[in-house]
Structure 1
Amino acid sequence: MLAPVVLAFLLVLLFRFVNPPTTHTIWTEARRLGGVEREWVSIEEIPDHVPRSVVAAEDANFCLHWGFDMAAIRAALDEGANRGASTLTQQTVKNVFLWQGRSWLRKALEAGITPMVELVWPKKRILEVYLNVAEMDEGVFGIEAASRAYFDRSASRLTAAQAARIAAVLPNPKGRDAANLSKSQRRRASSIADGAATIASDGRSACFED
């Protein structure tokens, strides 16, 4: 009974120091599409407004919780299916260790692995891994590949506005184009840029910035 728990913990410990070579989602999409775009980039190589934008878009209280945002969960329960409550840590666990799709088994495994990741990985590492494994366009994984696909530049040269536009596609990367957002999506990108500035000024980005 303990063997799966020990194995999961060893994988979490390994990926604290070693970059995940692939994920279930990357592997399945590569098979479906005949290949994917992906290039790992260290979080130290990208401007601070890039991770700030992702945090502002997906999990503004990333630095304040231990893997589960209880306030967001309560709000999601109140609003029903119209609101998500997954933190960046939970999304990273799903992307790296599990699979996409909704199932009670996956959610249970996610709930079990998330505290392990929070215990073993610094917040900065969680965000770095997320930025490199999240799908940001169809067959495009990670901020470096997304930056090149959308704006023909490396992630190290992304402007704050461009970072916010990429962050705006994250809820639906297959259905949105950061280089050609709709009017409502442009408003969301602008709101994300404002949010990134806010978390920088109020200290909510301190856990992943040196």
Structure 2
Amino acid sequence: MFKTTKRIAAWVTIVLVVLAAIPLVLTPIYAIRGVHPVSTLMLWDEVTVRPVLRDWVSIDDVAPVLLHSVIMSEDGQFCRHRGVDWGEMLAVVDQALDGEETRGASTITMQTVKNLFLWNDRSFVRKAMELPLAIYFDFVLSKRRILEIYVNIAEWDTGVYGIEAASQHYFGKPASQLTAREAALITVSLPAPDARNPANPSRTMRRLAQRVERLAKASGAYVGCLDAG
């Protein structure tokens, strides 16, 4: 019995080590511009033979206003933090300790590593795994490359991955030609891609998009890191 338990523990340890090594090995590979990473959700769709629509596009071929909209809506401090926005994180912890409803504190980098290496839920286990991965990811990759990967693996509708596929899906045009309003609408669909349709926005979506459009227009230094290669 003891030997069996010891053998199981050894195998569990090996599996955990392998799983931990995957992001450590893949992250430097993902720093290479010619590599097009896929998310765990995309892999699951492929395994379960669900339709997948995805066209990788260089960040140079995405309308800057879309990139600015995403940063200002999803992670205003993206260019200033090192993968984790500790100020936002501590604020969420304080809210949780006070028994208040917490808001999301995931940075774009955290969302990227979650999509690449982890799974979807709101468990503390997954969040704890996100933090070191995001710090490592930010250390190895440039901000511009992180954002390029993020907009290419985000799910914008059921089975629709990446901004190029989403732009064609909703507006029938390439991501390079998105207008400020279209960019804002497609950005505010991110938190609930199954329920929000940028091509047929609700009143709430239009209101949120107006705010994002204003933020993107005034983004200035908040998006300065995109000028670096």
**TM-score w.r.t. length of structure 1:** 0.91
For residues 82 and 190 of structure 1, the distance between their equivalents in structure 2, rounded to whole angstroms, comes to 25
- Counterpart for residue 209 of structure 1: 227
Give CA-to-partner distance per residue, 1:29-68, whole Å, 9 cap, x none: 3455721110000001122111101111100110111111
Give the root-mean-square deviation of aligned CA atoms. 1.9
Pairing partner for 1:12 from 19, 23, 27: 27
Give CA-to-partner distance per residue, 1:151-170, whole Å, 9 cap, x none: 01110111111011000101
**TM-score w.r.t. length of structure 2:** 0.84
| One-letter amino acid of the counterpart of residue 209, structure 1 | D
Secondary structure in structure 2 of the residue aligned to 1:100: coil
Verify: 1:176 aligned to 2:196, yes or no: yes
- Counterpart for residue 78 of structure 2: 62
Q: Verify the 8 A CA contact 2:50 2:159 in the aligned structure 1.
A: no
- Counterpart for residue 102 of structure 1: 122
Q: Verify the 8 A CA contact 1:48 1:209 in the aligned structure 2.
A: no
Shift of 1:182: 1.1
- Counterpart for residue 47 of structure 1: 63
- Counterpart for residue 7 of structure 2: none
Pairing partner for 1:143 from 149, 163, 169: 163
For residues 66 and 204 of structure 2, the distance between their equivalents in structure 1, rounded to whole angstroms, comes to 21
Q: Verify the 8 A CA contact 1:19 1:129 in the aligned structure 2.
A: no
Greater CA radius of gyration, 1 or 2?
2
**Aligned residue pairs, count:** 208
CA change 1:110–1:160 in 2 (3 A) is same
| One-letter amino acid of the counterpart of residue 92, structure 2 | A
- Structure 2 gap segments, 5+ residues each: 1-12
Verify: 1:121 aligned to 2:141, yes or no: yes
Q: Verify the 8 A CA contact 2:83 2:109 in the aligned structure 1.
A: yes
Identity of aligned residues (%): 38
Secondary structure in structure 2 of the residue aligned to 1:148: helix
For residues 158 and 22 of structure 2, the distance between their equivalents in structure 1, rounded to whole angstroms, comes to 31
Shift of 1:183: 0.7
- Counterpart for residue 131 of structure 2: 111
Secondary structure in structure 2 of the residue aligned to 1:96: helix
